Chain A
Amino acid sequence: SQTIHQWPATLVQPVGSPLSLECTVEGTSNPNLYWYRQAAGRGLQLLFYSVGIGQISSEVPQNLSASRPQDRQFILSSKKLLLSDSGFYLCAWSVQLTWEQYFGPGTRLTVT
């Protein structure tokens, strides 16, 4: 069966510090991968999605970036965090050419 992991689970970082969040998927090959941010327990904002290694599409211009160095690994990064980057970050995967997305447990980021 497929599983998706995210770490860390929680993170407290000062403004201006770098960020690296990691997501890995097991039990599937060549998945679509997604990064979402959720503010205050409400709707999900798509940040980045990837259909393959090295292929990243950005939905929202901001100080975040994403990379996919391996087929089942997706990384969200920032060089300098802003207060507005605080939120709940969710990674998701889907089988190519299907609708269903499966989410990881999330990372709670607090920028102080």
Chain B
Amino acid sequence: TQLLEQSPQFLSIQEGENLTVYCNSSSVFSSLQWYRQEPGEGPVLLVTVVTGGEVKKLKRLTFQFGDARKDSSLHITAAQPGDTGLYLCAGGSTLGRLYFGRGTQLTVWP
């Protein structure tokens, strides 16, 4: 059973477009994290959100934690080829234990 569902699974867009990827669950999490992973490498942490309704911005990336702390979204403005990668969300319950979604594979074409 997958606790966190990510959508879409695959996303292929042109440079300059905007996009949103989603991470949904029926469970409440104490924190929600987003990672980006490139082929053959380990995931790299982008952001942690812990408060329901929290919004964080990292340059062109905007992360939001749902009010009920069951879902999250990642919005990218004016996507660039360097944004290409696998985006993983992870929910934290017991401190130290994360549950990962299966990821959204984003490809941005120049």
Contacts and interface: CB of A to CB of B under 8 A. Distances in A.
Tell me if chain B binds chain A.
yes
Of A41, A105, A108, the most chain B CB neighbours within 10 A belong to A41
Contacts of B82: none
Contact of A43 (B39, B42, B97, B102): B102
B64 interface: no
30 contacts: A41-B86, A41-B105, A42-B86, A43-B88, A43-B102, A44-B43, A44-B88, A44-B100, A49-B96, A51-B96, A90-B42, A90-B43, A94-B96, A97-B95, A97-B96, A98-B95, A99-B48, A99-B50, A99-B98, A100-B33, A100-B45, A101-B33, A101-B98, A103-B35, A103-B44, A104-B42, A105-B41, A105-B42, A106-B42, A108-B40
A24 interface: no
B45 A101 contact: yes
Of A32, A90, A98, A101, the most chain B CB neighbours within 10 A belong to A101
Contacts of A108: 40
| Chain B interface category by residue count | 20 to 34
